[in-house]
Structure 1
Amino acid sequence: MKIKQQESERHVLAITVDNEAGILAKIAGLFTARGYNIDSLTVADISENHAVSRITIVTQGPPAVIDQIHAQLERLVPVHKVVDLSENGPHVERELALIKVAGKGDSRVEALRVADVFRAKVVDTTTASFIFELTGTPEKIDSFIAIMRELGLVEVGRTGIVGMTRGPEGA
């Protein structure tokens, strides 16, 4: 008898928490202790009085594991709400990247041409390099980086994914 292995699914979790010391460590510890991987993690204060933060975590796993993660996160005291954007319907995801490319001559011109196609913004330039700022889906950023590898990619910095449900309701 074969046991069917469940497919791993990608999920974007938006977690609203009290903005207090140690909460990120608690949440990361929950993932680590259970062997769950975090593909992307972003944290930012979202309230005027700095009392509440939003943590966005991208993770993968079969539905049962994602349900377990969701339940365990909701049990943590400083957690107000956990929303699985992937299961909540249509949502928007974006990531910011800074990409440094070095080159002269034709490769420099080509890097600028490609950046224009991707709508990347030049935020720093020298006679030998550029730093591009690019915002978009992770796939768009991956494609841009792949092309820049051939044109003199030096360094990449990425923020991680932030996401939000579409429509007038909040998460």
Structure 2
Amino acid sequence: MTEMQSHTLSILVENNSGVLTRVAALFARRGYNIDSLAVGETEDPEVSRITIVVNGDDAVIEQVIKQLYKLIEVIKVIDLSKEEYVDRELALIKVAATSETRADILQIVEIFRAKVVDVGSNTMMIEITGGSEKISAIEKLLRPFGIKEMVRTGKVGLLRGPKDVSKEK
């Protein structure tokens, strides 16, 4: 039996309406839960990059990639997990802050190289970018202060090095 593991798929698609729905539906039909999804325009305004994190064994992910290529708008699919790549997430965390706790919160923010992007009378909003582990670690440290609201983006990633994969299929 093969082992289930996390795969980060980078999918270059034509920038048309409905493409994201068709890609997500392919995963849903196969019964796969998408752990993370991010989509945005690339350096070419006619091409978008969808980054999807999904758990599955290698054989299943290979089948999903073959199915993705059957969608006419799909240009290129890369399993970043098989290569050297850089990934990042962004989180905004609104945390309860009093005059007594602000210094402690600021110390945590500084240690994680995060930023305070908003200050209210009884809250502070923190912006942090980094790997999933970094975001989870700061969240854990801020939780005792009282997290009022939080949002995390999905993971985005690119292959390391000069390789330009957008031109190949």
Does the alignment reach a TM-score above 0.5?
Answer: yes
SS in 2 for 1:35: coil
* Aligned twin of 2:57: 62
The number of residues matched between the two structures is 165
Are 2:141 and 1:155 equivalent residues in the alignment? no
Specify which of 81, 91, 101 is matched with residue 97 of structure 1. Answer: 91
**TM-score scaled to structure 1, two decimals?**
0.93
Q: Percent identity?
A: 47
| Structure 2, gaps ≥5 residues long | none
Aligned-CA RMSD value: 1.1
What is the Cα deviation at residue 6 of structure 1? 2.0
* Aligned twin of 2:17: 21
Specify which of 126, 135, 146 is matched with residue 129 of structure 2. Answer: 135
CA distance in 1, matches of 2:37, 2:124: 27
Specify which of 158, 164, 171 is matched with residue 158 of structure 2. Answer: 164
Q: Write the letter of the residue equivalent to 2:159.
A: T
Q: Which runs of 4+ in 1 moved over 2 A?
A: 105-108
**TM-score scaled to structure 2, two decimals?**
0.94
* Aligned twin of 1:126: 120
Q: Write the letter of the residue equivalent to 1:132.
A: I
Specify which of 62, 71, 74 is matched with residue 76 of structure 1. Answer: 71
What is the Cα deviation at residue 106 of structure 1? 3.1
Specify which of 23, 48, 51 is matched with residue 53 of structure 1. Answer: 48
SS in 2 for 1:140: helix
CA distance in 2, matches of 1:53, 1:98: 24
CA distance in 1, matches of 2:101, 2:57: 44
| Structure 1, gaps ≥5 residues long | none
What is the Cα deviation at residue 29 of structure 1? 0.5
